[in-house]
């Protein structure tokens, strides 16, 4: 199946305010959202480029699922390192983990106290034909795909003759927003909301990859990543009801609460980049249901 590029832009209304949604979630059923952008260079590469891909992160990671899709298409082995799985997930494998395993992913569980050391070992692994992709796809390889996204936004903005435009997207590792900022027209403002760590941590991450310019971080309270919060579920449900679009339950709610809503008073048009990740909603909704018991 060919990817749907450029991804379309929908005009929606939320809480009485019109804004645009860049539908990167519709690019491809398996490889979509910011993960498609981050993996774009590898997607375009020959199947002979690598034999094995190695990555690491959470047991329900969207990046994990996307890399598994990529490796399946290319015929590459995919080895994924994670902290020891909780017993409930071992007994009832679901969500992104179940889908990635069906695609042939090999998992390697590492005890919590050895995990960081193991990741450092992987970073220094020299194995012919192998490629290491950092957690969440936070890698310089992401640059090409985010440049393509920026070109799509720049062209769309020119065609719509929009004078003032604010683009918003979440930051997990922050690499998507960093590279997108580098290629957007200079008069387009890029905002992000930090999901992992805080503003200081995010800036440190960016400085390791680039000298700037950097996106503008909208302030938000530090919360535990991927933890179910009642206000996030409420926002997810409200968004789905008012816009008719399903957003992910981890990145989108906080970004809308502390990002999009904060920009409502501005005169500029707002474009939210839908970063995909809805495949993880199955397991997240079960966590919410369990929490509500």
Domains in the chain, please, with CATH?
9-29+141-291 (3.40.50.1100), 40-137 (3.40.50.1100)
* pLDDT in the model for residue 293: 46
The model carries a pTM of 0.92
Do 128 and 48 meet the contact criterion of CB atoms below 8 Å apart?
no
The first and second tokens of residue 86, run together, are 């909780």
pLDDT in tens, 35-73: 999 999 999 999 999 999 999 999 999 999 999 999 999
**How confident is the model at residue 32, as a pLDDT?**
86
pLDDT for the residue numbered 139: 72
- pLDDT < 70 positions in the chain: 1-2, 138, 292-293
Q: Residues 136-180: pLDDT tens digits?
A: 776 778 889 999 999 999 999 999 999 999 999 999 989 999 999
> Which of these, 171, 30, 56, lies nearest to 125 by C-alpha position?
56
pLDDT value, residue 11: 98
């Amino acid at each position: 199946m060919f990817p749907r590029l450029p991804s379309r832009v929908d005009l929606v209304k939320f809480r009485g305010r019109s804004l645009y949604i860049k539908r990167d979630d519709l690019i491809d059923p398996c490889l979509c959202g910011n993960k498609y952008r981050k993996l774009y260079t590898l997607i375009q590469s020959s199947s002979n480029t690598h034999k094995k891909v190695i990555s690491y992160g959470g047991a329900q990671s969207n990046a994990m699922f996307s890399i598994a899709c990529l490796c399946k298409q290319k015929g590459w082995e995919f080895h994924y390192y994670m902290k020891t799985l909780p017993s409930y997930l071992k007994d009832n494998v679901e969500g992104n983990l179940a889908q990635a395993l069906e695609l042939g992913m090999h998992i390697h569980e590492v005890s919590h106290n050895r995990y960081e050391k193991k990741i450092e070992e992987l970073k220094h692994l020299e194995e012919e034909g192998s490629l290491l992709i950092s957690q969440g796809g936070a890698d310089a390889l992401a640059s090409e795909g985010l440049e393509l996204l920026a070109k799509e936004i720049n062209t769309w903005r020119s065609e719509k003759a929009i004078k003032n435009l604010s683009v918003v997207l979440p930051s997990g590792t922050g690499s998507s927003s960093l590279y997108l900022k580098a290629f957007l027209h200079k008069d387009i403002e890029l905002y992000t909301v930090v999901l992992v760590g805080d503003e200081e941590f995010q800036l440190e991450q960016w400085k390791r990859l680039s000298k700037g310019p950097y996106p503008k971080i909208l302030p938000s309270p530090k919360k535990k990543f991927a933890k179910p919060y009642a206000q996030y579920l409420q926002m997810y449900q409200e968004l789905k009801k008012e816009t008719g679009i399903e957003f992910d339950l981890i990145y989108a709610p906080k970004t809308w609460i502390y990002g999009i809503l904060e920009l409502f008073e501005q005169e500029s048009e707002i474009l939210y980049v839908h970063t995909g990740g809805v495949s993880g909603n199955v397991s997240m909704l079960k966590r919410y249901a369990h929490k509500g018991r």
